[in-house]
Amino acid sequence: GAGVSQTPSNKVTEKGKYVELRCDPISGHTALYWYRQSLGQGPEFLIYFQGTGAADDSGLPNDRFFAVRPEGSVSTLKIQRTERGDSAVYLCASSSWGQGTNTGELFFGEGSRLTVL
């Protein structure tokens, strides 16, 4: 597709369950970012990939959160033993930053809204 695609758009789960959120970036973008946005807050940085490797994962809140990008394209954010505080919109963005451009423009998907009951 032309833009960043995130699935599912909505996910309701029970406390303690495992969740996977998927991001399909814009074709050719090597940089991929995950952010989390809670109500009334700005996007909170979680992790950033350049290619297949995590260039910066300093925003992952704890070891229940993990993200992979095995082929340098699609990425999956994995959350184990979900807690009610994990409820938020999880935003994925991709960028061509680092490929000779420097606009810093991130192209965001519409987000995956996670609700943990």
Partner 1 sequence: DQQVKQNSPSLSVQEGRISILNCDYTNSMFDYFLWYKKYPAEGPTFLISISSIKDKNEDGRFTVFLNKSAKHLSLHIVPSQPGDSAVYFCAASDGNRDDKIIFGKGTRLHILP
According to the binding rule CB under 8 A, does residue 28 interact with partner 1? Answer: no
According to the binding rule CB under 8 A, does residue 90 interact with partner 1? Answer: no
How many residues line the site for partner 1 (CB under 8 A)? 31
Ordered DSSP codes for 36-74: EE-TTSPPEEEEEEETTEEEE-TT--STTEEEE-TTSS-
According to the binding rule CB under 8 A, does residue 52 interact with partner 1? Answer: no
Distance in Å, CB of 109 to partner 1, minimum: 5
Question: If we measure between CA atoms, which residue out of 111, 116, 114, 113 comes closest to residue 6?
Answer: 111
Number of H helices, E strands in the chain: 0, 11
| CA gap 1, 57 in Å, rounded | 27
Cβ(59)–Cβ(44) below 8 Å: yes
Q: Which is nearer to partner 1, 38 or 80 (CB)?
A: 38
Distance in Å, CB of 51 to partner 1, minimum: 12
Q: Which is nearer to partner 1, 48 or 65 (CB)?
A: 48
Q: Which residues bind partner 1 (CB under 8 A)?
A: 4, 31, 33, 35, 40-45, 48, 50, 55-56, 58-59, 91, 93, 95, 97-98, 102-111
